[in-house]
Amino acid sequence: MDVDPRLYELIAVNDNDIHNIVMSYLVHNCFKETVESFISCTGMKQPSDRLEDMETRKRIYQFALEGNALKAIELTEQLAANLLEKNKDLHFDLLSLYFVEQVCSRKCTEALEFAQMKLTPFGKEQKYVEKLEDFMALLAYEEPEKSPMFHLLSLEYRQHVADSLNRAILAHANHPTYTAMERLIQQTTVVRHCLNQERGKDGPHPFSLKDFLKS
Amino acid sequence: MGGVEDEEPASKRMKLSSEELRRLSNGSTIKETVAGSPGDLMARPLQSEGGEEVVGSKGVIKKVEFVRIIAKALYSLGYIKSGAHLEEESGIPLHSSVVNVFMRQILEGNWDESVITLRNIGLTDEKTIKSASFLILEQKFLEFLDEEKVMDALKTLRTEIAPLSVNNSRVRELSSYIVSPSYHSSVRSPKQDTLRARSRSKLLEELQKLLPPTVMIPEGRLEHLVEQALVLQRDACIFHNSLDKEMSLYSDHQCGRDQIPSQALQILQAHTDEVWFLKFSHNGKYLASSSNDQSAIIWEVYETGVSLKHKLSGHQKPLSSVSWSPDDHQLLTCGSEEVIRRWDVSSGECLHVYEKTGFGMVSCGWSPDGKWIFSGLNDKSICMWELDGKELECWKGQRSLKISDMEITGDGKQIISICRETAILLLDREAKVERFIEEDQPITSFSLSRDSRFLLVNLLNQEIHLWNIEGDLKLVSKYRGHKRSRFIIRSCFGGLDEAFIASGSEDSLVYIWHRGTGELIESLPGHSGAVNCVSWNPANPHMLASASDDRTIRIWGLSNLSKSTKQKGPQSNGIHYCNGGS
């Protein structure tokens, strides 16, 4: 049983709200030029302070995605001084990106020295020990891509770290860490799931964005 | 016989190489070399059906294997020259030359060569070869780390160990060693406690375990076989009851009957009526007995004998049983369908009386921590009290019979009682699970072993059944011979490691069986009335006590002992009620 589509007609959606949703997405992902053209098309007010920080965040994100962690860290420190100190998990993840880059370039000695200096201090806390061991294990393989820990070398992993960094920077500046769009989709999915659980086969099906977009 | 052979037996033997060994094992060359050998001091070799040379009267010991394990034992003992001489004289090398090379390479640390040699040994299982290579290369890695050659270690890890693709979790560990070798070297010198690599001879032992035993004889093999034989002998010895009876290799172990208590050393007469129950304390220093005369007696056990310590009066009914507290400082006595009394052993004072209005107790026992007691009531329920008398719990329903035994296991988890004529209930207090021992015959009494793993059950039909109550309930042995027709007769475990079963009997004899074999080894005359209960001193495997309708308690001991104390007959402390016999 699905919701009667006619019920949708009863809800009025404000244009302004939609514009805000789109804007939040663009700002979060640092699409600066698109933001500027969107503003001129819709006549929205310009969120002036956000433009600068977008540029910086974009650069940081790019560096992190490429695996150039040291540059990303440098810029982050410039932008938000204590951020990494307060987010040790994030700090570790970023440093590990650098380590992984060294391993991939087969620079074992440098990787080893870097690990001994920068990563092992984290090992004093129990929660980092296993992560640390995961990364160290990469050293044992001449072809780390073929090791059991190959997922640490993947683009998905770097994306995940870059995303976390982005959110942390936004949080630091008291901006929302999730886009409205993400939240809306998450909300719908969770609500539908709860209803589905409660009402069993009588309730609405779990939310599928793909199906929704097709309908 | 032949002149030529006589002159050159030694050189003939030295010529044997590993190829000739192979020929030896299918028997063809043997007859030629051995038939004429002078001064035949060696074991006369026979032919087994398989064609290999054998020694020993049963034809099951292969000569080659026998000599090899002897040589190995000689080397283990440090007799290097003898070992080498044996190899030479017998022509049977302990290890093939390849293996010898391999072992030397390991001990000298020639890792790369040893890995190559490993492949030449002739192993068929690729997995074994890889595991062995892993061990060797791991040692190489760890020794590099100990010498602080970190980059060499890393190279070994990357290029030699990881490609083996075995034991990935160990590879992970080794990686972490590279990164943090400096954790330990802060205070102490790096060489001391913190060497990662074990000794090379330990490595060799590990490799020995990995490789098939025909390639490398396992360490201590001969010693293991001899120990096996000794243990078997000891288990088969039905009179084995003394710790100091050492086992010798010169002759098969067999204790004599003289290790079993068989002489009545003392007759204790202080009860004025039938003695129904008795039990030694856990530490063997005291004995408690209870009687139809409504009293219980605490006896003290001395080097020289047993003497009366306290007479406990107060019950208004005959006493069915007693129970020692786990620390032996207190005693519970139970009147038949009456009350339970708790006594202090040193003063003989009654500390508490447990009763339940309208009901009578039939059995009693202590929790293993000594903090509470439990009892069976004549309404078939089981109750628990704290020491001060506060009732803790009560299980109603068919849990026990009117006259019944009750025990609790050493971990405090299970309560055991007779719940139906032919069944014993094992109730798990926490899990609330019930298990049942079902018999075909009515059960009269039972007794729990010291380790709480076995239960001895007395049946109406004069059989005693031994049950294993750990895990699945299983009947292990049956013991017969004693007589029981009208009364409750009790039996017990006893002797060294509780290797014996003793029981009372209506024919006035005390019966003793060897627990493992079920063989009846003693039936001791002396009492003039039915023997109701026996108890074996847990601290002294040579002391047994029996309680009888003839109002006496007999203390049994080794018959040597009474000879040495120069007593003609057993000591007694008063008038015999009837002729005690010898």
Confidence (pLDDT) at A42:
86
Q: How far is it, in rounded angstroms, from Cα A96 to Cα A137? A: 13
Show the DSSP H helices in chain A as ranges: 6-9, 15-28, 32-42, 48-66, 69-79, 83-86, 88-104, 108-114, 126-137, 155-172, 180-199, 209-214
CB contact under 8 A, A136 and B179: yes
CB contact under 8 A, A108 and B163: no
When pLDDT is cut at 50, 70 and 90, the band that residue B562 belongs to is very low
Question: What number of C-beta contacts closer than 8 Å exist between A and B?
Answer: 55
Given the cut 0.90, state whether the ipTM is greater than it: no
When pLDDT is cut at 50, 70 and 90, the band that residue B245 belongs to is low
Confidence (pLDDT) at B401:
64
Please check whether residue B387 touches A, CB under 8 A.
no
The arithmetic mean of pLDDT across residues A194-211, rounded, is 77
| pLDDT at residue B13 greater than cutoff 60 | no
Give pLDDT tens digits for B482-517.
887 777 889 999 988 899 999 999 999 999 999 988
**Chain B residues with CB-CB distance to A148 below 8 A:** 168
pTM: 0.58
Shortest Cα distance, chain A CAs vs residue B122, angstroms: 30
Percent of chain B with pLDDT over 90: 36
**Long-range contacts made by residues A132-136, C-beta under 8 angstroms, separation at least 24?**
A132/B176, A132/B179, A133/B172, A133/B173, A133/B175, A133/B176, A134/B172, A135/A96, A135/A99, A135/A100, A136/B172, A136/B175, A136/B176, A136/B178, A136/B179
**Chain B residues with CB-CB distance to A123 below 8 A:** 180
**Chain B residues with CB-CB distance to A119 below 8 A:** 179
DSSP string, B449-505: -TTSSEEEEEETTSEEEEEE-SSS-EEEEEEE----SSS---EEEESGGG-EEEE--
Confidence (pLDDT) at B48:
52
Q: How far is it, in rounded angstroms, from Cα B16 to Cα B12? A: 7
Residues with Cβ within 8 Å of residue B443, at least 6 apart in sequence: B418, B421, B422, B423, B424, B457, B458, B459, B460
Q: How far is it, in rounded angstroms, from Cα B341 to Cα B322? A: 9
When pLDDT is cut at 50, 70 and 90, the band that residue B192 belongs to is very low
Nearest residue on chain B to A121, alpha-carbon basis = B180
Which residue out of A113, A135, A139, A146 would a mutagenesis test of the B interface target, given it has the greatest number of B Cβ atoms within 10 Å? A139
What tokens appear for A9 in the block? 């007609």
When pLDDT is cut at 50, 70 and 90, the band that residue B159 belongs to is confident
Shortest Cα distance, chain A CAs vs residue B151, angstroms: 8
| pLDDT at residue B185 greater than cutoff 80 | no
Confidence (pLDDT) at B403:
57
When pLDDT is cut at 50, 70 and 90, the band that residue A39 belongs to is confident
Please check whether residue B229 touches A, CB under 8 A.
no
CB contact under 8 A, A142 and B158: yes
**Chain A residues with CB-CB distance to B168 below 8 A:** 148
Instruction: Provide the mean pLDDT of chain B.
Output: 82
Shortest Cα distance, chain A CAs vs residue B174, angstroms: 8
CB contact under 8 A, B150 and A133: no
* Choice among A25-34, A198-207, B1-10 with the minimum mean pLDDT: B1-10
Q: How far is it, in rounded angstroms, from Cα B542 to Cα B564? A: 15
Closest residue by Cα to residue B202 from B112, B107, B73, B130: B107
Please check whether residue B163 touches A, CB under 8 A.
yes
| pLDDT at residue B577 greater than cutoff 60 | no
Do B307 and B299 meet the contact criterion of CB atoms below 8 Å apart?
A: yes
Q: Which residue type sits at B263? A: Q
Confidence (pLDDT) at A126:
84
Confidence (pLDDT) at B147:
86
CB contact under 8 A, A112 and B179: yes
How, if at all, do strands B275-280 and B263-268 pair? unpaired
When pLDDT is cut at 50, 70 and 90, the band that residue A204 belongs to is confident
Percent of chain A with pLDDT over 90: 0
Region for B314 from its dihedrals, namely left if φ exceeds 0, alpha if ψ lies in -120 to 50, beta otherwise = left
**Chain A residues with CB-CB distance to B162 below 8 A:** 140-142, 147
CB contact under 8 A, A142 and B175: no
Shortest Cα distance, chain A CAs vs residue B198, angstroms: 21
Q: HSE of B268 in the Cβ direction (CA atoms, 13 Å)?
A: 28
Please check whether residue B159 touches A, CB under 8 A.
yes
CB contact under 8 A, A137 and B171: yes
CB contact under 8 A, B171 and A132: no
Give pLDDT tens digits for B291-342.
999 999 999 999 888 999 999 999 999 998 899 999 999 999 998 888 999 9
Nearest residue on chain B to A124, alpha-carbon basis = B183
* Partner residue facing B175 (CB), from A109, A123, A137: A137
* Choice among B5-9, B166-170, B175-179 with the minimum mean pLDDT: B5-9
When pLDDT is cut at 50, 70 and 90, the band that residue B193 belongs to is very low
User: Which residues sit opposite B500 in a β-bridge?
Assistant: B494, B514
Confidence (pLDDT) at A191:
87
| pLDDT at residue B575 greater than cutoff 60 | no
The arithmetic mean of pLDDT across residues A143-169, rounded, is 88
Residues with Cβ within 8 Å of residue B369, at least 6 apart in sequence: B326, B412
Give pLDDT tens digits for B69-123.
999 999 989 999 999 999 999 998 888 888 888 988 888 988 999 989 888 888 8
Give pLDDT tens digits for B18-42.
444 454 444 444 444 444 444 444 4
Q: Tell me the residue length of chain B.
A: 582
Confidence (pLDDT) at B397:
64
When pLDDT is cut at 50, 70 and 90, the band that residue B417 belongs to is confident
**Chain A residues with CB-CB distance to B171 below 8 A:** 137, 140
Q: Count of CB atoms within 10 A of residue B348's CB?
A: 15
DSSP B249: S
Nearest residue on chain B to A113, alpha-carbon basis = B179
Q: Which residue type sits at B426? A: L
**Chain A residues with CB-CB distance to B176 below 8 A:** 132-133, 136-137
Please check whether residue B236 touches A, CB under 8 A.
no
Which residue out of B165, B172, B177, B185 would a mutagenesis test of the A interface target, given it has the greatest number of A Cβ atoms within 10 Å? B172
Print the SS3 string covering B257-303: HHHCCCEEEEEECCCCCCEEEEEECCCCCEEEEEECCCCEEEEEECC
| pLDDT at residue B428 greater than cutoff 60 | yes
When pLDDT is cut at 50, 70 and 90, the band that residue A48 belongs to is low
For residues B562 and B505, the model is more confident at B505
Q: Tell me the residue length of chain A.
A: 215
What tokens appear for B334 in the block? 């139970």
The arithmetic mean of pLDDT across residues B121-146, rounded, is 88
Would you list which residues of chain A are within 8 Å, Cβ to Cβ, of chain B?
108-109, 112, 115-116, 119-120, 123, 132-134, 136-142, 147-148
CB contact under 8 A, A136 and B171: no
Please check whether residue B185 touches A, CB under 8 A.
no
| pLDDT at residue B187 greater than cutoff 60 | no
Q: How far is it, in rounded angstroms, from Cα A214 to Cα B23? A: 83
**Chain B residues with CB-CB distance to A139 below 8 A:** 154, 157-158, 175, 178-179
| pLDDT at residue A101 greater than cutoff 50 | yes
Please check whether residue B150 touches A, CB under 8 A.
yes
Give pLDDT tens digits for B40-78.
444 555 555 556 788 888 888 999 999 999 999 999 899
